[in-house]
Structure 1
Amino acid sequence: MQKTPPSAVVLPEDMPLLSLPKQTALIRVKNISQASWRLALWNWKQHSPRVAAITGSAGKSTTTAMVSSILKQIKRVVHTTGNLNTYLFQ
């Protein structure tokens, strides 16, 4: 299976240039974390999603899975999988 090249690549200004396919746009930023958050905010504003937050000290993964399963019967649902206890990109 042939891989499709990315439409764009975002790199810090101080990172050495990579060899990219001609059709891939290169976006240089001063702060990769700030750029990622700005992109996330822009995307959020494009869709204006309704959000349900589940909080507490125990049982969130199970509760999230149950609520997601129920809501999927009547709505389009996007939910996290696993544990996202940190905002760092891995």
Structure 2
Amino acid sequence: MCTAELDDRNQLALAALKIPGVVNVREFMVGEGNVRVEAIGTSNDDITRIARELASLGLRISEEILLRAQYVSPFEAFNPEFEE
């Protein structure tokens, strides 16, 4: 979770997306944590590099969360064959 100045939020979010390893950037309409960055790395060095690059853009990193696993399921109501 990062924080950007309001006037710079869009520009910094787009710049963050160009960093190798960054796969998703979201802008939120809040003060703190208004830019959420999702990045993937294979080592601690990858994550450190990404964090340094985000900071060098001018984003202030306010929270880092390391994800161990993620499970998803599609929403079946969008499936044309879905029946209740």
TM-score where L is the length of structure 1 = 0.29
Could you say which structure has the greater relative contact order, defined with CA pairs below 8 angstroms and 6 or more residues apart? 2
**Structure index of larger Rg:** 1
